[in-house]
Amino acid sequence: MYAVSSAVNRGDKRDAAIHVWDLQSGCLVRAFRGGVVAPRSLAISRGAVIAAQAGKPAIHVWQPHSEHLDFRIGLGETCASLACSPDDFLCVSGSASGRIDVWEMATGELLSSTKSAHYRRITTIRFTNDGAHVVTASDDATIKVWRVRDLVQQTTHEDITPMHTWADHTLPVTDVFVGFGSLSARIVSASKDCSCKIWELMTGENIASLAFPGDVLSVTMDATEQVVYAGTGSGVVYGAALHGQSADDLRASSITPKNLNTYVGHTMPVTSLDVTLDACTLVSGSDDGTVRVWDTQSCQCVKIYTHKERVTSLVLVPRPWIDGAHPTLASVVTPFARTLSLARDADAVDATKGVPMRLAGRTATSAHPPLDDTDGSDGGGLCAATDALMHHMMQHHRIEAPTDVPQKSHHETVDELADDGDDVASLKAAIRIWKAAATSLYEHCQRTAGL
């Protein structure tokens, strides 16, 4: 397991802004140089390291196999928070004015821009594990849950209504943790009002409220979601065990100091937290410039990593993220556009026809419509990482659709042939043409990608 930490490096530009540490050996594995990383603006995808620059309207992109900056993306407004979807298809940013921008990573196209998402700075952006929802938190003391399909299908003339809006905190919300379970996930919010609140994504209900002895600046949970870890402004990290607590006690904010494990060592506010999958190791980053590794059983610090400046973000990633990095897979991120495309702004999006995608110079519509909320499930109707890679390859290698493929859908062809007199031979021939075209395109993409 690797710990990826970023710091506000205001000294020599040659110094590393992002460090990758091996949790077992404590060695520095890689150091990405250049840039000043903003708080909670570090996103790790399978093909790139993406970070927003502090105080400037820019995003920096590194490839995992290279320590030097790959390219810089200019924006129209300073980015305050950043996140990538689990399938590496979308990148979502939150601005200091409360605007949400959504880009397609493979093409750099700005899919939507929601100017009135929040009234103040967006402090945190988190995706659910299925990529169907985005959770945003802000200095306006609210947390909002957005359907990804609504954000992507938005036009500039529409206002989006969030799935949930939670306004129970009385001071700015500083961090958000999103658990597993897609629509059944639980969300934990941290605030400067010295509390953490637990929410159910499906119902939007507040199921627990935890009080801590200090303003909470960062929050996370273990894999079993039984312990809430809260980093405070005093530098102390608290671990609150949820098992053994009644529902009435949790709702009444009755967690007392005797129920808390304390991790003492940081001398300044704790800005970032993360836990390993086995729940045995807690990693924390602080404004004191250190990243500390804790044993959760003994609450003792076992390793310390040092930055020259304060730590702004911290993410735990598996070893294959760097060891198995492939140059082709690392090139799926392209510079982001600043404005919405004219074609997307002019054409209304029909929600019954899926999400429009640009393939080989044409505008096509996904054959799979977005899922409906009425069936008890939800989803974004978006491509997976492999579709994004094929999208990127089709644009750069100019792969055109086979000319011998009928320009009608498979279902239309079958219906017409059946009505003409059950011509079985023609029906089988049409099916063979469609299968051959799909197989040819898939094999060509594999050869081109070197997979």
For residue range 195-244, list pLDDT tens digits in order.
Answer: 999 999 999 999 888 889 889 999 999 998 889 999 999 999 999 888 76
Number of residues in the chain: 451
Closest residue by Cα to residue 48 from 343, 332, 422, 443: 332
Nearest alpha-carbon partner for 209 in 242, 176, 162, 164: 242
Give the model's pLDDT for residue 349: 45
Place of tokens 């419509």: 369
The string of pLDDT tens digits covering residues 108-132 is 888 888 888 899 999 999 999 989 9
DSSP 331-359: G---PPPSSB-HHHHHSPP-GGG--EEEE
Question: DSSP assignment of 285-339, as one string?
Answer: EETTSEEEEEETTTTEEEEEEE-SS-EEEEEEE-THHHHT--TTGGG---PPPSS
| 194 conformational bin, left if phi > 0, alpha if psi -120 to 50, beta if neither | left
**Mean pLDDT across the chain, nearest whole number?**
76
- Please report which helix (H) or strand (E) contains residue 164, including its range: strand 164-166
Q: Is 339 exposed, middle or buried (0-12, 13-18, 19+ CB in 10 A)?
A: exposed
- Quote the CA–CA distance of 297 and 281 in Å, as a whole number: 9
Contacts of 412 (CB under 8 A, 6+ apart): none
- Provide, rounded to the nearest whole percent, the portion of the chain with pLDDT above 90: 31
Cβ-contact 122, 80 below 8 angstroms: yes
Q: Which of 368, 348, 364 is nearest to 356 (CA)?
A: 364
Ranges of the chain whose pLDDT falls below 70: 8-16, 154-158, 244-259, 320-332, 341-430, 435, 442-451
Kindly state the helix (H) or strand (E) to which residue 261 belongs, with its residue range.
strand 260-263
pLDDT of residue 22: 87
Give me 139's structure tokens. Answer: 């200095």
Distance of CA 16 to the CA centre of its chain: 23
pTM: 0.73
The CA distance from 132 to 306, in Å, is 36
What long-range pairs does 280-283 form, CB within 8 A, spacing at least 24? 281/1, 281/23, 282/229, 282/237, 282/239, 283/3, 283/23, 283/314, 283/316
Residue 182 has a CB neighbour count (10 Å cut-off) of 16
Provide the strand spans (E) within 119-169.
Answer: 122-127, 133-138, 143-147, 164-166
Q: Provide the pairing of β-strand 195-200 with 186-191.
A: antiparallel
| Tokens coding 228 | 């809430």
Rounded Cα distance between 112 and 151, Å, is 6
CA angle 45, 46, 52 (to 5 degrees): 25
Q: In what order do the strands lie in the sheet with 100-104?
A: 79-84, 90-95, 100-104, 110-114
Provide the pLDDT for residue 433: 72
Is residue 434 within a helix (H) or strand (E), and if so which, with residue range?
helix 424-449
In this prediction, residue 196 carries a pLDDT of 92
Q: Token pair for residue 34?
A: 């250049």
pLDDT score, position 47: 77
- What pLDDT sits at residue 68? 84
What pLDDT, on a 0 to 100 scale, did the predictor assign at position 15? 57
What pLDDT is recorded for position 298? 92
- The token pair at 372 is 């409906």
